[in-house]
């Protein structure tokens, strides 16, 4: 892709990201995305065959950025896995306190496209969530936590539930409750 074409591609992805998170994946229109990116709809279609492909591209980029942030957490020293999960739940609470917070895009797209299990954006969301959970498993295994796979799955349930219920009720108490539940799970396993 020539440099100007790469820049146009990136502008479209950035505009789509903003529109998807602001309006929802289904409600964001390609016309609005093209306007936001300052391109014609024809140009948009030269870069992406469909809205579905654009949704998948946006989520791939979001996944890469999210995993970069998560790797920074893993790079820091923590005395225990409990301290690690305290940190990520604390940051989740800070993220959720931002004005106009709309939850995790990966969860939102899966909900918005619940009736389309084969949709490419759902596949990206599924892979992202699996990667996060697998990262939790590795951390817990390295800390010698028994049943690391099961504990990671339980923490993922707490994480997703906290985001979803915080979004529904606008009550950050769900994040605090999930953090405490994760701590109890890990303390019972000796973390």
Domains defined for the chain, CATH in brackets = 1-48 (1.10.10.60), 51-188 (1.10.357.10)
CB neighbour class for 24 (10 Å; exposed up to 12, middle 13-18, buried from 19) = middle
Q: Please give the pLDDT value at position 190.
A: 65
Mean pLDDT of residues grouped by 10 in the chain (191 residues)?
A: 83 95 91 97 96 94 91 87 93 92 88 91 93 94 93 96 94 96 87 63
pTM of the prediction?
0.86
Q: Residue 165: its pLDDT value, please?
A: 95
pLDDT of 169 = 95
Phi-psi region of 18 (alpha: psi -120 to 50; beta: other; left: phi over 0): alpha
145-178 burial code (b ≥16 CB/10 A, e <16): beebeebbebbbebbbebbbbbbeeeeeebbebb
* Two tokens, residue 29: 């229109």
**Tokens standing for 165?**
């219920």
User: pLDDT at position 9, please?
Assistant: 96
Task: Report how far residue 84's alpha carbon sits from residue 176's, in angstroms, rounded to the nearest whole number.
Answer: 15
């Amino acid at each position: 892709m020539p440099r100007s074409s790469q820049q146009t591609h990136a502008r479209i992805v950035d505009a789509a990201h903003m529109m998807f998170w602001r309006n929802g994946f289904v409600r964001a229109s390609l016309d609005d995305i093209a306007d936001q990116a300052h391109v014609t709809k024809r140009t948009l279609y030269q870069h992406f065959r469909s809205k579905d492909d654009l949704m998948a591209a946006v989520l791939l980029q979001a996944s890469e950025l999210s995993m970069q942030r998560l790797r920074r957490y893993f790079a820091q020293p923590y005395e225990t896995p409990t301290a690690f999960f305290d940190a990520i739940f604390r940051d989740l609470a800070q993220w959720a306190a931002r004005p106009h917070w709309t939850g995790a895009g990966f969860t939102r797209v899966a909900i918005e496209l619940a009736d389309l299990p084969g949709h490419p954006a759902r596949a990206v969301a599924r892979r992202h969530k699996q990667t996060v959970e697998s990262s939790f498993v590795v951390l817990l295994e390295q800390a010698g936590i028994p049943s690391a796979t099961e504990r990671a799955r339980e923490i993922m349930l707490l994480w997703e539930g906290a985001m979803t219920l915080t979004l529904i009720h606008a009550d950050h108490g769900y994040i605090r409750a999930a953090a405490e539940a994760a701590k109890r799970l890990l303390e019972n396993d000796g973390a």
